[in-house]
Structure 1
């Protein structure tokens, strides 16, 4: 029994095992599993937007096209940042077909069955965890793509990786402009989500490792995927929304502690007439009453 336990421990701690698992994980294609899950969560997020269902019934083609644009926003933004054709994401016809089918099932399935099923806790948890596994791979793909164009720019690689990992959050603004223009002001730049922050940090780590090669890149991707999955589990089972909010708020308070706070704009009250003018008006009123 002890020999079996020792063999299991040695197998789990073996570097070759984790390296082989990391290379297998990185070599997995995004389609069909990862992309289909991404399309499902994108359609569910858009369906939850205000006025999205009425917009889909009134303008189905526009709703379908916008859903696909939001789902592929990461690739579109990354290609634009690298001066490449933005429509490279449309080349794969299977992605387009899968997105159309998913959009139809989420928006128009009988009795909203498909949309309701996505809120079933076990299924929702599985979808979210698969999305995090895909996010780590997409960020790595973005950093690798940017490294060929900007090999010495850590910031450029991190930004492109961020776009690939959280492009959906940036693309939702386009959908809001069509469905509910009043809510279009709630875009990602003003209210940065945890997914965007985590994608940027992960992209910076990938970019630094790309320039220094301290760790085997596939092994680092596997480590980041485990971190993403662990954070998603913590966020799912707790009331925490953004783990970066506390250190971000404290650091900003420290940085602005010595600066002057802006004065509140006080609305000026309308100027009242002087006492002399009030008395003259009152006399004029009494004289008019006496004449009458």
Structure 2
């Protein structure tokens, strides 16, 4: 919850501060999506009432209180406290502990309804861990903004990728294909998530620990994207521009030799 307000105030590019002043109801709804988006998506996937979690009045009141303090606390004292780096790292670590628990609980819940539905279990665990990010476009619509190019599936952040990989691991464990206990897997994955997220937050880094591994695996499994684009550009250009496009990529010396040869050929034809 505090991350929602903190991120908005830090950049001020999303208009969340102005929204809270001019349209407090829309701002409150956006905050509720950030708090309970994972539960809403999971209930939607499993065919359960998506508003069911809002029956927990204490959670709604707590989230509403934090929302109010973030945006309307005098002198921004609450916001400054939660953004103080040592305090922020504690909240970040707690958030990752909750994320892993939500992934495990979501997969267990899906397995109870669909014993052999691997895809359903993975999808449920994934949205449980990263439902907030996956609902970012809906949250933008509530704020009157539409940016489909910022879709989380197109540009996955570290928590979204980690939630997906974690959902696969917990699904394998739930279906007995991964010979480890659930408690051990929860402990190891929690330590991994907490360590990575705390390090990224402390260093103000937006990179992902998976980038290096994906850099080796993705070209092998899915091909090199730059090669495909280059091939498409050569064959997709108009007929009259094909030669010019090819020549533009030649070195300067090769261009001079080609031009000189063309002039000699033209002189011979004139003779």
How would you bin the TM-score normalised by the shorter chain? 0.7 to 0.9
Q: Matched residues in 2 for 1:86 and 1:182: separation? A: 23
User: What TM-score results when the alignment is normalised by the length of structure 1?
Assistant: 0.72
Q: Matched residues in 1 for 2:37 and 2:206: separation? A: 27
Q: Matched residues in 2 for 1:93 and 1:99: separation? A: 10
Residue pair 1:50, 1:180 contacting (<8 A) in 2 also: no
Does the C-alpha gap of structure 1 residues 83 and 154 become closer, same or farther in structure 2, counting only changes over 3 Å? same
> Which whole-Å deviations, capped at 9, do the CAs of 1:96-122 have from their partners, x for residues lacking one?
101110101111111112122222110
Establish whether residue 252 from structure 1 lines up as the match of residue 218 from structure 2. yes
How many residues were matched structurally? 231
Structure number with greater CO (CA < 8 Å, separation at least 6) is: 1
Q: Matched residues in 2 for 1:211 and 1:147: separation? A: 9
Does the C-alpha gap of structure 1 residues 58 and 240 become closer, same or farther in structure 2, counting only changes over 3 Å? closer
Does the C-alpha gap of structure 1 residues 115 and 184 become closer, same or farther in structure 2, counting only changes over 3 Å? farther
Match of 1:159 among 99, 123, 134: 123
Structure 1 equivalent of residue 195 of structure 2: 230
- State the Cα distance separating 1:240 from its structure 2 match: 5.8
- State the Cα distance separating 1:266 from its structure 2 match: 6.5
Structure 1 equivalent of residue 233 of structure 2: 263
Q: Matched residues in 1 for 2:6 and 2:139: separation? A: 13
Residue pair 2:100, 2:129 contacting (<8 A) in 1 also: yes
Residue pair 2:103, 2:129 contacting (<8 A) in 1 also: yes
Match of 2:52 among 80, 85, 88: 88
Match of 2:150 among 164, 186, 197: 186
Q: Matched residues in 2 for 1:53 and 1:262: separation? A: 45
What is the alpha-carbon root mean square deviation over aligned residues?
2.5
Structure 2 equivalent of residue 64 of structure 1: 28
CA radius of gyration, larger in = 1
User: What TM-score results when the alignment is normalised by the length of structure 2?
Assistant: 0.77
Match of 2:207 among 241, 260, 264: 241
Establish whether residue 100 from structure 1 lines up as the match of residue 60 from structure 2. no
Unpaired runs of at least 5, structure 1: 1-38, 269-292
Match of 1:215 among 152, 155, 180: 180
